[in-house]
Structure 1
């Protein structure tokens, strides 16, 4: 049988139309970094990690050189604290809702603002946000992120577990760290067959404040699907919204001008965080250019415009990309064989999937560039 699966997701994070929703303040840039006993106190950049900061300050040499992965094991056995201070004007601070957003923390941490604990993190791959209205001052707001050694954390989690999760440790030849499967972290940072062991700690993605009075569009995704029964493409658009209070009668218009396709929906944003879904039907008279795997054709995309208005006032203006393709997993009987087939049809064409294995471009994610 053939199993029809979803096609392609294009995601745009944290868009907010400034006049109605609010405004944002980046906290990226220069922070302070210190170890647990205060013997090391240095400047650091965010996004960044402890290894990068130590190298930039000349406290360690090139980590990739010879056996420096062994020499610098002490970095991952320390606890490190990032700290910064910032000021806000009253217009920003007095918005109805303020979110402190961390797009990526590596990995186990406790976050405090002006001496008050906001919360904890334990997942490198998750975005964290905290409501901080009423906790901020006009001047000298102190933000700290205290990071726990991932090596010691994983070891302690293993001790607390009633069962083992193999492999407990990498092969001795890799000179790596154990129990990486007990922490939600980039697994190769504890060593891999192709790379050294550098268990990183830091703020590997950006940090910012978002302030708004009505609502914030947290995420926009657009997924194209093909309806074979009527031979028509549709695009399912989903908004994740954080609303201060319920907002009724928001008119949202979806359009792909290149395909002469446009629809308007009237929706409601309810108090709190919620999902809102729409469907855009593609004009059947428009010729859709299909996305193909490399070597089988081109990879065209279309821009989906998402605009919104409330009482004739524009409150939303977003553009995201959509790639059209159909994907079928084909599993069926094989003549003279007890097993079943397992292959994919892309745009109704059988495609041999060669497979891929992305090896991270750098041991320290903050040093990855587009040219890599």
Structure 2
């Protein structure tokens, strides 16, 4: 049988660099992970929260609910998805970050219906668990202390509105609406949210909400990297041939240098001088790696 190999962690620790003419072109990033609090909307007491995470795990850690996976506790916790929830954090930015020309906040995963406020100003409304959200906060971000607050609407309430607006039900065999106390009103089909949250034959119905992926502040000046995709072209034991596909956004036309390197090996894998145009730009850099680490299915290799 012919063996098929794949690269494992071939570019672990990859760094991406855009070096443009002039000074002050570096991208600055900061994750907002610590110091979060949450509460049931309309109540006064805030509890410590873990981000990334979700309402159910935060309630459990604060001893506000019993273990959802123990005995029949699942049925006693169906009230959670009928409530709205709020998360907040206070964070600081320094003068060097404030000097960046563009200041953005990136939400890599909000579950699901969320109104996001920065310093009490609405910056975005999310309604899809499966995508990233980005907002320009240049005019709202202050040097020093800032407050980010996220209001999560009950996915059940939002789903019921969509069901009523649709006028007739749609099939959703996984949706254990009866456990949720909703009779035959299956709303999962109307919501851009993980279907298994609504129950399945292999798991409980826990329709949660929360910040399920990191939140990141990003400051940049003339240009920054929007996306990187690694395409594997050819692989043998001796050599891997891949292509790094870059998407770069630029404020203006200017020359730039793209570089891709491996931090583990302390080695530059490829560079390319490019001419950026205003808007989105796409480029590729071919890379060859000697003696790549290969991925094998269980029991067939290292």
Q: Could you tell me the TM-score, scaled by structure 2's length?
A: 0.79
Query: Do the aligned partners of residues 248 and 196 (structure 1) sit closer, same or farther apart at CA in structure 2, a change above 3 Å counting?
Result: same
> Is 1:101–1:129's contact at 8 Å kept on the other side of the alignment?
yes
- Deviation track 1:57-90 (CA, whole Å, cap 9, x = no partner) reads 2222222222221111111111111112222222
Listed as ranges, the matches of 1:1-372 within 5 Å are 20-161=25-166, 164-167=169-172, 170=175, 178-226=186-234, 234-250=241-257, 252=259, 264-280=271-287, 282=288, 291-297=295-301
CA contact (8 A) 1:97 1:244 kept: no
Task: Please tell me the root mean square deviation across aligned C-alpha atoms, in Å.
Answer: 3.7
Contact 2:116 2:151 in 1 (8 A): yes
CA gap of 1:181–1:138, structure 2 versus 1, over 3 A, is same
* Structure 1: segments with no counterpart, 5+ residues: 1-6, 299-372
Shift of 1:32: 2.2
Distance 1:139 1:181 in 2: 43
Distance 2:294 2:100 in 1: 44
Find the counterpart in structure 2 of residue 355 from structure 1: none
Shift in alpha-carbon separation, 1:163–1:27, aligned structure 2, 3 A = same
Whose RCO is larger (CA < 8 A, sep 6+)? Answer: 2
- How many angstroms does 1:41 deviate by? 2.9
Shift of 1:251: 5.1
Change (3 A) 1:86 1:237: same
Structure 2: gaps spanning 5 or more residues = 1-6, 19-23
Q: Higher Cα Rg: structure 1 or 2?
A: 1
Give yes or no for contact 1:85–1:140 (8 Å, CA) kept in 2.
yes
Give distance in 1, aligned partners of 2:225 and 2:38. Answer: 32
Q: Aligned pair in 2 of structure 1 residues 29, 254: CA closer, same or farther (>3 Å)? A: closer
Instruction: Quote the Cα distance in structure 1 between the aligned partners of 2:198 and 2:48.
Output: 25
Distance 1:27 1:184 in 2: 24
